[in-house]
Structure 1
Amino acid sequence: YLGLAALLLVLVIPGAMMLGFAREDSIVVQAILGRMTRFHVMVAAANAMIVVAALLVLRAVREWRAAGALEVPAWARWGRKLHVGAVALSCSGMLAVFAFFKLLGLNLPAHAEAGDPIPASCLAQPGSDRRAPGDCRTPLDAQLSARLQQILDTARADPAARYPGAILHIETPQGSWSGVSGVANIAAGSAIDPAAKFRCGSILKPFISTVILQLVEEGRLSLDDRLADLLPPEVTRLFRHSGQITVWMLLNHTSGIGEWVDQLDRPAILRNSRDKVWSELEFLQIAARRGANFAPGSQWLYNNTEFNLLGMIIERRTGLSWRENVRRRVITRLGLRNTVLPEPGTRTMPGSSISGYAEYDGAVTEVSDLDPSMAGAAGGHALVSNAQDLATFLQALLAGTLFEKPESLAAMLATVDTGVPFRSRYGLGIGRYELPDGGYAWGHTGGTAGYSSIVLHLPEHQVTLAAVISMEQGAEGMAFLAPALRAVVGAEQVR
């Protein structure tokens, strides 16, 4: 009977695991994914212990039978075959799980904490390749690497570039490159780690929109659902057109809802309130005082309030915070080990990082410790990542890895005209950046106190770029972007 139990266990456990992975949208499965390596070891050890125990019992049964002390059922004669089969099924079951991942093109997260050190084999000097832990890519050739480093240094040396430090990471079919320029911290004069973390600002928006579209796939939400039907009256009554505003409008910035960012006294917050813990409702109340910008669906205007509302919708539909949803559904799923969402009140930057600075009161001041609740699901200081992880995220997103249905990615990439140069079209939480020759790039920018960042992917060339400067100056402050892309794609299409 113990032998049969062993056989059932080695069949049921891997089978149940595979069934769970087939439904990766399951919240329970997402919680398991981050500990898969340890879980596999535990299952294999349990299988081995059961099979060995059964073997010992059946050996004792045979000895008792030989001594005439016990009559053994006929099926016990199959003991040896039973054990061989149990061991084979145990091994094949574990291999099947890994094969299942590979066939779907999924990444099995390694069992490591965010901020784990990069293995010695992956270490490189600033200006050379350095991928995320455990994923070393072929470096670009020396001539192109030197040219990219020169571009980065020249841009930072310009008097108009007041930022203390910059990181640029580029991935191409020929290889990848990470370069730095400047210092990580002015006071310490410390060198910048090419894999240093930073606050990502509105690059959080495509993470949020990904979760929303996953909920649509699960049938928990529709893009046509109205705001008034999704959130409680104390929220929806703040916005006059809540009965007309859809989830789709919130995602592509066409709702017309008022903005809260430009109504804050930012120097006063940086001077006196960096430790303040903000709630999503506070942002909504500030936005409501401004009133609507235009009728829902009639125009486009970039807006942070919409993503605060989307964060609240995620929480209402799942019973978990938007942070926990992003962790389980995106960060853990892709194995982004250098990407974290600190809880409100956790102001210390995790692991190796680059400090962010702001100019106010006639001085340049470090503002990295602004509470991560500032801006909430709209971005701000909420998301902490590095350039390599952001590139991995955008590549996976555009490959459809995070969705079960191709229609979800198609919906995300359905754009509206913005009328804004460079980012001339916008999808569901993602921008389409038109290039002068007719080419384009997908991605998002991120501006927050102390940082300006960007992540882009050029489908035509399969080139991905992620960059940050340690002062909020917008994408226009990154004068190295266009020449770096020109150097990589070998064309004058990027200006």
Structure 2
Amino acid sequence: MYKPSSRRSRLLACGLATMIAVGTLTAPVAASASSATTADFDDGVQKSLDGLIGEEFPGALASVRDADGRVTRYTAGVGDLETREEVPADGRVRIGSNTKTFVATVVLQLAGEGKIELDGPVEKYLPGLVRGEAGDGRKITVRQLLQHTSGLPNYTRYMHQDFFKIQHRYVEARDMIDVALRHKASFKPGKGWEYSNTGYLLLGLVVQKVTGRPIAEEVTRRVIDRAGLRDTYWPGVGDQTVKGPHPRGYTVRKPGGEFVDITTMDPSWGGAAGQLIGTPDDLNTFFLTLLDGKLLKPAQLAEMKKTVKAPGFPEGWRYGLGVVKMKLSCGDTAWGHGGDIDGYETRDAATTDGRAAAVAVTALPGGEAGALKVIKVVDDAVCGAR
């Protein structure tokens, strides 16, 4: 949901977007170097990150990997407005809709194992669940759920507009799916494109039906552990905290109002559409590992990269199966996703030659301009990391 017309509809939004082999990562270094070229690049990234801090974003953190495998971390602003503590380098944040790429990876793995048919109907896995004006599971395919071409109503559009009233409420995936199914479909399956978190909640249930295990467990076992992501995890039932070093996440009660700490919240409403917690380093590692073919077989990775136009996204961006193809300002192509959730926004991008950048800010932008500022930092970092 890149379109900024509705704050609630933008939650878990898609935006910009591993290391080559687990266990062979280049150790992160400080934002300084001996060569003038590298020093200039680091200064540029730091200056861009500093430029994000102000009325829209209290804090920011980033991780950049260049084509030679050098990893550099950056921070800006403050990590806690009350204590004025610094932003922890590579701190954990809620990564929102980046979760979708993890879920899509599991679905494609299962497709490669012959357990899920991408062009098979949702009805095959969840009989009788999707019916009515919202859509028909007999006519919607798994691929369409992955690619946002199902036409299913987006449940976050219909959530309570005052998030503070549901901040600590636990919900099941079916609760949110039922919210969506009370509304009309946006279009007939395969006849349009519209970002829908509902499809990914259904994919979580498809995985559970096929494997007999919850989506959180499958994502952890099949993706997080295999990619060696040490700081990424799926919050358990009732877990409202962000574990380990992390900057506080903020929101406002009304446009132009003061920041309110919203770090502690129940993310269950995000589920398979956006519940994960991770770090910029881990996001880079995940996307580079994915692009390098370490998580998917060649046939399934090729399916993931089949894209369609994504109206409302920045020019040159297209959507695949849980991943975004981006045209960078320098002419290069990158892959990633990104995500928004109350308290945090993340943007990320990775290239097939080993470059990657992930930026997190500790509040959602108030409009399109703020979101584009974060995207530009990522774009500049990836383009300059050659």
State whether TM-score is above 0.5.
yes
Identify if the C-alpha distance between structure 1 residues 186 and 328 changes in structure 2 by more than 3 Å, giving closer, same or farther. same
Letter in 2 for 1:184: G
**Which residue in the other structure is 1:69 paired with?**
none
**Which residue in the other structure is 2:298 paired with?**
406
1:83-482 aligned within 5 A: 107=22, 127=31, 141-157=38-54, 161-174=55-68, 175-233=70-128, 235-237=129-131, 239-267=134-162, 269-270=163-164, 272-361=165-254, 362-379=257-274, 382-403=275-296, 405-422=297-314, 424-435=317-328, 438-459=331-352, 462-473=354-365, 476-478=369-371, 479=373, 481-482=375-376
Query: What is the DSSP-based 3-state SS (H/G/I as helix, E as strand, rest coil) of the residue aligned with 1:401?
Result: coil
Output the CA distance in 2 between the equivalents of 1:486 and 1:307: 30
Query: Of the two, which has the highest radius of gyration?
Result: 1
Identify if the C-alpha distance between structure 1 residues 295 and 122 changes in structure 2 by more than 3 Å, giving closer, same or farther. closer
Letter in 1 for 2:214: S
Shift of residue 434, structure 1, vs aligned partner:
2.3
CA-to-aligned-CA distance 1:411-435 (integer Å, 9 cap, x gap): 0000111233426311000011223
Output the CA distance in 1 between the equivalents of 2:261 and 2:328: 35
Letter in 2 for 1:198: V
Identify if the C-alpha distance between structure 1 residues 326 and 475 changes in structure 2 by more than 3 Å, giving closer, same or farther. farther
Letter in 2 for 1:304: N
1:69-80 aligned within 5 A: none
Identify if the C-alpha distance between structure 1 residues 172 and 108 changes in structure 2 by more than 3 Å, giving closer, same or farther. closer
Q: Which 10-residue stretch deviates more, 162-171 or 173-182?
A: 173-182
Query: What is the DSSP-based 3-state SS (H/G/I as helix, E as strand, rest coil) of the residue aligned with 1:156?
Result: coil
Query: What is the DSSP-based 3-state SS (H/G/I as helix, E as strand, rest coil) of the residue aligned with 1:236?
Result: coil
Query: What is the DSSP-based 3-state SS (H/G/I as helix, E as strand, rest coil) of the residue aligned with 1:184?
Result: coil
- Give 5+ residue unaligned stretches, structure 2: 1-19
Q: Does structure 1 conserve the Cα–Cα contact (< 8 Å) formed by 2:146 and 2:199?
A: yes
Q: Does structure 1 conserve the Cα–Cα contact (< 8 Å) formed by 2:62 and 2:90?
A: no
Runs of 4+ in 1 over 4 A off after TM superposition: 121-125
Output the CA distance in 2 between the equivalents of 1:484 and 1:251: 25
Shift of residue 231, structure 1, vs aligned partner:
0.7
Q: Does structure 2 conserve the Cα–Cα contact (< 8 Å) formed by 1:109 and 1:333?
A: no
Shift of residue 275, structure 1, vs aligned partner:
1.9
Shift of residue 152, structure 1, vs aligned partner:
1.4
CA-to-aligned-CA distance 1:412-464 (integer Å, 9 cap, x gap): 000111233426311000011223565322110200001110110134x6421
Output the CA distance in 2 between the equivalents of 1:477 and 1:332: 34
Q: Does structure 2 conserve the Cα–Cα contact (< 8 Å) formed by 1:356 and 1:451?
A: yes
Output the CA distance in 1 between the equivalents of 2:89 and 2:137: 45
CA-to-aligned-CA distance 1:277-307 (integer Å, 9 cap, x gap): 1111111111111111100000111110000
CA-to-aligned-CA distance 1:159-214 (integer Å, 9 cap, x gap): xx521100121111242221110111111111111110000000000000000001
Q: Does structure 1 conserve the Cα–Cα contact (< 8 Å) formed by 2:176 and 2:269?
A: no
Identify if the C-alpha distance between structure 1 residues 484 and 316 changes in structure 2 by more than 3 Å, giving closer, same or farther. closer
Q: Report sequence identity in percent.
A: 32
**Which residue in the other structure is 1:86 paired with?**
none
Identify if the C-alpha distance between structure 1 residues 486 and 284 changes in structure 2 by more than 3 Å, giving closer, same or farther. closer
Q: Does structure 1 conserve the Cα–Cα contact (< 8 Å) formed by 2:357 and 2:378?
A: no
Query: What is the DSSP-based 3-state SS (H/G/I as helix, E as strand, rest coil) of the residue aligned with 1:277?
Result: coil
Identify if the C-alpha distance between structure 1 residues 483 and 356 changes in structure 2 by more than 3 Å, giving closer, same or farther. closer
1:47-66 aligned within 5 A: none
Output the CA distance in 1 between the equivalents of 2:97 and 2:355: 21
Count of residues paired in the alignment: 358
Query: What is the DSSP-based 3-state SS (H/G/I as helix, E as strand, rest coil) of the residue aligned with 2:75?
Result: strand
Shift of residue 357, structure 1, vs aligned partner:
0.5
Query: What is the DSSP-based 3-state SS (H/G/I as helix, E as strand, rest coil) of the residue aligned with 2:224?
Result: helix
Q: Does structure 2 conserve the Cα–Cα contact (< 8 Å) formed by 1:454 and 1:467?
A: yes
Q: RMSD of aligned C-alpha atoms?
A: 2.7
**Which residue in the other structure is 1:9 paired with?**
none
Letter in 2 for 1:369: T
Output the CA distance in 1 between the equivalents of 2:250 and 2:126: 37
Normalising by structure 1, we get a TM-score of 0.68
Shift of residue 146, structure 1, vs aligned partner:
1.9
Query: What is the DSSP-based 3-state SS (H/G/I as helix, E as strand, rest coil) of the residue aligned with 1:373?
Result: helix
Shift of residue 273, structure 1, vs aligned partner:
2.6
Normalising by structure 2, we get a TM-score of 0.86
Shift of residue 224, structure 1, vs aligned partner:
1.4
Identify if the C-alpha distance between structure 1 residues 128 and 164 changes in structure 2 by more than 3 Å, giving closer, same or farther. farther
**Which residue in the other structure is 1:95 paired with?**
none
Structure with bigger helix share is 1
- Give 5+ residue unaligned stretches, structure 1: 1-104, 111-120, 130-137
Output the CA distance in 1 between the equivalents of 2:63 and 2:233: 19
Query: What is the DSSP-based 3-state SS (H/G/I as helix, E as strand, rest coil) of the residue aligned with 2:65?
Result: strand
Shift of residue 144, structure 1, vs aligned partner:
2.0
